[in-house]
Amino acid sequence: MPSTAALDATFQALADPTRRAILARLAQGEASVMELAEPFDMSQPAISKHLKVLEKAGLISRGRDAQRRPCKLEARPLAEATGWLVDYRKFWAAQFDRLDDLLGELKAIEAASGKT
């Protein structure tokens, strides 16, 4: 089970659409900061701030390839967040199943009483 701090960092990083777009790009493979900055209308320092948030959350890592520092997606925090969310999905699925059962009972009562 991931720590509260790790989940907080992951969800905080995912809260921003620019950072989600960066992660989507990195899901296709490594990219340099310049390559990641290309589709956005913002400065390289602004992109670097987004990358620092992603790196702090453990969602990306930066390597060293000569003069290039490629960024790489690190999927473990996403898997941990998904696991956390799955528990709540199970809870809501059980709640909806109970609601379905109740609606079925109400329909059966209505049908039995001749009110259709």
Please say whether the beta carbons of 69 and 79 come within 8 A: no
pLDDT at 63: 84
- Long-range CB contacts for residues 38-44, cutoff 8 Å, separation at least 24: 42/18
pLDDT at 6: 92
Digits of tens for pLDDT over the chain (116 positions)? 668 999 999 999 999 999 999 999 999 999 998 899 999 998 889 999 999 999 999 999 998 777 778 999 999 999 999 999 998 888 888 899 899 989 999 999 988 887 65
Phi-psi region of 65 (alpha: psi -120 to 50; beta: other; left: phi over 0): beta
pLDDT at 98: 92
Please say whether the beta carbons of 62 and 103 come within 8 A: no
How many other CB atoms sit within 10 Å of the CB of residue 22?
26
Cα distance between residue 29 and residue 41, in whole Å: 22
Q: What is the pTM of this model?
A: 0.75
The residue type found at 12 is Q
Of 76, 90, 103, which Cα lies nearest the Cα of 3? Answer: 76
> For the structural domain made of 4-112, what CATH number should be given?
1.10.10.10
